[in-house]
Amino acid sequence: MFYYEKKLQYPVRVSQCNPMLAKFLVEQYGGADGELAAALRYMNQRYTIPDKVIGLLNDIAMEEFSHLEMIATMIYKLTKDATPEMMKAAGLGDHYVAHDSALFYNNASGVPWTASYIQAKGDPIADLYEDIAAEEKARATYQWIIDMSDDPDLNDGLKFLREREVIHSLRFREAVEILKDDQGKKKIF
């Protein structure tokens, strides 16, 4: 069951129209290590993960969807007043021709999102290590976008998202330890 509260998880502000920053942010919208891939990965993996940590995957998947909403809002705000010339200068001319200012799930290079971005092995430990790696890659990408940005208002939201990736990574590490402890216990049937 889902409950949708009509507000973002964290306020999204931008200082000015900046299609170039929007192009960078598209990586976290539809890229391999972005929010959509993470949310779907965790929702999918929850069906083969032990009950002790199933809630964790479900909770983080839902939070990733809220991050996707934040990224979409950032991209929208960065491009809503952009002219076609500005979109073209930012390397978004092809996107503009195909989608106008509508969001589309692709990475910063324009490659469409694909289900091959989602990993699920069915082995809980392997899947959780994949999840840790995904969170660390997302954290690094957020940092690199912050490094490229000159917008302090946008950076505030990006820093929030970067820190949430750190928390998710730590929570997945805790889940690995819980499952490792269970593996070592003697089972009596």
Please give the annotated binding residues, written as ranges.
35, 59, 64, 67, 135, 168
Residue that the structure tokens 């003697």 belong to: 186
Binding site for Ca(2+), residues? 59
Long-range contacts of 152-159 (CB under 8 A, 24+ apart): 152/15, 153/13, 153/14, 153/15, 154/13, 154/14, 154/15, 154/18, 154/21, 154/74, 154/78, 156/13, 157/10, 157/11, 157/12, 157/13, 157/70, 157/74, 158/74
From CA 128, how far away is CA 147, in angstroms rounded? 29
Q: Residue 37, exposed/middle/buried by CB under 10 A (0-12, 13-18, 19+)?
A: buried
From CA 177, how far away is CA 40, in angstroms rounded? 23
Binding site for Mn(2+), residues? 35, 64, 67, 135, 168
